[in-house]
Every structure is written in structure tokens, then in C-alpha cells.
Structure 1
Amino acid sequence: MTATSIVFDLDGTLVDSSPDIAAALNTAFAPLAVRELTASEVLAMLGGGPRALVQQAIDAVGRSADRRRLDGLVEAYTAAYRAHPVDRTTFFADAADVLPQFAARGLKLGVCTNKRTDIAERVLDHLGVRDCFGSVVGSDRASRSKPDAAHLLETLAELHATPDECLYVGDTDIDAQTAAAAGVRYAHVAWGRPLADARTGLRSFSDLLSLVSTGC
């Protein structure tokens, strides 16, 4: 069946936000006097939302944090990232060219991300593609966040789309699990983390044009 709607994950799929996220983490961790995290390290941590990200980052710098301390670091990270969410964020591959083509074809486009909605919308707006999307649902707007199916299904509901007519595009196991739980077909980007089943990834977003036009 031909897809009439495409929903994307954001970080690690459509955009490389790792430089800005790494900078925000390093700002939040500055009082701890630990080494700075690199963008490449942080890229491998993305997908589970802010709290999971901060926990992985704390582990990476060799520190531990109880719940209260972790709460404080998540708050500090969120404030730092909200202040500078798009200083060095860029598109992956040919997203800037292909997203308007999808919209011109009348495809319904959405974003289902574990990033907070307001920050996701700022990123998309800064990159000039917010108007391409009929729905942007961050973890704060979902009743239950990825990998729970509810997050993706609620994004589809806002698009007035059904699972059988949708394709979800992501970069992590979390995205693949979310699609499977929601009964939605899944496409994995080649620059994402390898999946356990070794599925071949999309090399560019233009690959989706043929998938959409011929069915997938």
C-alpha cells in the first residue's frame, strides 16, 4: 500500500543536533569539573529523551547521580539547551530539499520525537521547514513517550492518518520498536545506529520518494 503520510524522528534522523546538545550538557556539567563530552559521543546517546540522555552522559564522564542530583542536572541541561538549541544544528543528508517535495505532493508529514515539543518546533522553524509538518509531538505532549506506541499513534491522530497508510522514519532501536508497537511500517536511516536485524538503511531522504510513489 502506498504511504500517504510520513512521520519522522527528529534528532539523529532529520537533524544533527549533537553539537548543540553536547554544548548544553557540558554547560550543565561544568560545576562537576568533569571532562567535556564530544558531539560524536552525544549523538550515540540520543533517542530516549532528556532524562535518559543526562543519565548516559553522567555515566560517560565517570560520575554517578542520585535521583535528586539527576533532577537538578536535567533541569540545568534543559535550561542550557533551550537557550541555544540551534546554534550548530544542521540537516542530515538532503532533508532540506526533499521535505518541501513531500509537502508539495500532498503527503501528510509529522514529527514524533522524545525532545520537548517547544524546542523541536524552534529547531524546525530555524531550519525553515516547520510549515511542512502538520503535527509535531514531543514527549511532553504524548500521553506516553516512545517506545510506547501511544506517542506515534497520537502523532498520526493529529495528521488524521492511520497506521496502515503511514511510514515512520528513525535512527534507533527505540524508533523501530515504536513503529512495530504501533503497527506502522518503518524505514531506518543509514547514518543511524545499526539495528539488531541488520536492516539496510536509507542513504538519503530522496530514497523515500520512490518508496512513497511505488508503495512500500
Structure 2
Amino acid sequence: MHPILNDIRLVAFDLDGTLIDSVPDLAVAADAALAELGLTPQGEARVHDWVGNGSLTLMARALEAALGGAPDEALLARAHRGFLDHYGRVPCARTRLYPGAREALAALAARGLPLALVTNKPSAFIAPLLEAFGLDGHFALCLGGDSLTAKKPDPAPLLHVAAHFDVSPSACLMVGDSRHDIAAGRAAGFRTLAVPYGYNHGEPVALSRPDGTVESLAELV
């Protein structure tokens, strides 16, 4: 067992960029939404750096890049609806599970540790993705970006998780790939663990000073 798990009684995981590489499908949906508005698709490489703050912010960034300036609210709403429609139809055609993720989740669950999923992705997409990869049985609680009134980097979702399981935040671990995960974990009083392979807006996640880093989630167990 990895030393960062010492005295930990609950583990919360981010989803995109931590457990799954979802950017290929997110980019297809974002580009399709832009194309419907007569705008230039922005491509996977750019979308990679825009993921992490929820789908509305993703489309705001895509529109700003395509327009060369900030979109108005009406256009953003249309683009976001288009994105949700396209992504909802095929959320995991190109998405892949990161190596080590399945093994880590299974081993932690086998040890009796409650597992929670805390993502900024709209909650409607969580179940289809987890079911597609056979991970739906591992999480006792799943929160999306629209489950509460606040999302990461606000600590509210993590504090909600700790309270739900009646576990002190100091005995909880947040595992993620971005500065938003680390900031939320730190603000909530969680221990934090980062993976360096995800979507941290083009910046090394180590700059956020997590309590630990692993190259693969398999190192947890």
C-alpha cells in the first residue's frame, strides 16, 4: 500500500484526466457544436488544455478561440446545448481507461475503503461512462459539476463527501490530475495525490504542490 494511504479512511477520485482519457470524445463533441454554428473546429490538442472546469466553461473557451473574443450568453448557451447533445449521444467511443486505474479501484474497494467520484463533468454523463468501463460498482457516491451549487476548486463537494460518510476530512484523500483537484482537496482539509498525465491546462500539476504524486494509479496498491 502506498504510504500516502496511511490512516486514510476514504478516497475521492476525479474522473477526466485521472481515471479516463476522455478528451478525444470531448473534442469531437465540442468541434461538432462549433461547426453547427458555422465556426472553425478547434481540435483535440486545444480541447486538452480547456478541460477541467465543466462543460460550460469548455465551450466558452472553445467559442472564444473560434471567435477571437468572448461570446455573448445566448451564443454560449446554444453552443453548450449542442455540445451536450453530441457528447450525450456518444460519450465513450474514443475514451480510454488509464492503465492502473481499474486495478487501483478494485484493490482499494477490496480493502473496504469507501470510494467517491467527484468530477466537474455534468452528472448525467457519469453513469454511462462508469458502466461502459465496468467501474460503476466501485463508487459509493458520485458527484458531478451540477450535483451541488459549487464545484471544484471549491471545497464544497469534498466536504459533502466527507460528511456523507461521516469521515473527518483529515482522513480523506483526493486523487486528481489538475490544480482544481489539489486546490479543492487542500481547502477541504483532504490529503492530496496527483497524477501527471492528465489535463492541467498545459501546466505540470506538481506546481500545485500536492502531498504526493504517482505516475500510475497502480502505485497506490
Whether TM-score is above 0.5 comes out as yes
Counterpart position of 2:179? 173
Which residue, out of 3, 7, 10, partners 1:5? 10
Deviation at 1:156, TM superposition (A): 2.7
Contact 1:147 1:175 in 2 (8 A): yes
Counterpart position of 1:53? 58
2:152 is the counterpart of 1:140: no
Counterpart position of 2:129? 123
Contact 1:142 1:151 in 2 (8 A): yes
Distance 1:208 1:197 in 2: 20
Q: Which runs of 4+ in 1 moved over 4 A?
A: 197-200
Q: Under a length normalisation based on structure 2, what TM-score does the superposition of the two structures give? A: 0.88
Which residue, out of 13, 22, 45, partners 1:17? 22
Deviation at 1:141, TM superposition (A): 1.0
Deviation at 1:84, TM superposition (A): 1.1
Distance 1:103 1:22 in 2: 32
Distance 2:184 2:131 in 1: 25
Counterpart position of 1:104? 110
Contact 1:19 1:88 in 2 (8 A): yes
Q: Which SS does the other structure have where 1:130 is aligned? A: coil
Contact 1:47 1:114 in 2 (8 A): yes
**1:68 and 1:62, CA in 2 relative to 1: closer, same or farther beyond 3 A?**
closer
Contact 1:164 1:183 in 2 (8 A): yes
In structure 2, give the amino acid aligned to 1:202: V
Counterpart position of 2:3? none
Identical aligned residues as a percent: 32
Distance 1:155 1:43 in 2: 28
Contact 1:48 1:114 in 2 (8 A): yes
Deviates more, 1:89-98 or 1:106-115: 89-98
Deviation at 1:109, TM superposition (A): 0.5
Distance 1:197 1:161 in 2: 25
Q: Under a length normalisation based on structure 1, what TM-score does the superposition of the two structures give? A: 0.90
Offset from partner CA, 1:121-177 (integer Å, 9 cap, x none): 211111101110001001111131111111111123333432111110111111111
Distance 1:100 1:197 in 2: 28
In structure 2, give the amino acid aligned to 1:110: A
Q: Which SS does the other structure have where 1:61 is aligned? A: helix
Q: Which SS does the other structure have where 2:15 is aligned? A: coil
Counterpart position of 1:214? none
In structure 1, give the amino acid aligned to 2:155: A
Which residue, out of 182, 191, 199, partners 1:185? 191
Counterpart position of 2:38? 33
Distance 1:82 1:124 in 2: 14
Unaligned runs of 5+ in 1: 210-216
Distance 1:114 1:71 in 2: 18
Deviation at 1:198, TM superposition (A): 5.9
2:99 is the counterpart of 1:93: yes
Q: Which SS does the other structure have where 1:79 is aligned? A: helix
Number of equivalences: 209
2:209 is the counterpart of 1:204: no
Distance 1:17 1:161 in 2: 31
Unaligned runs of 5+ in 2: 1-5
Q: Which SS does the other structure have where 2:217 is aligned? A: coil
Contact 1:19 1:89 in 2 (8 A): yes
Deviation at 1:12, TM superposition (A): 0.9
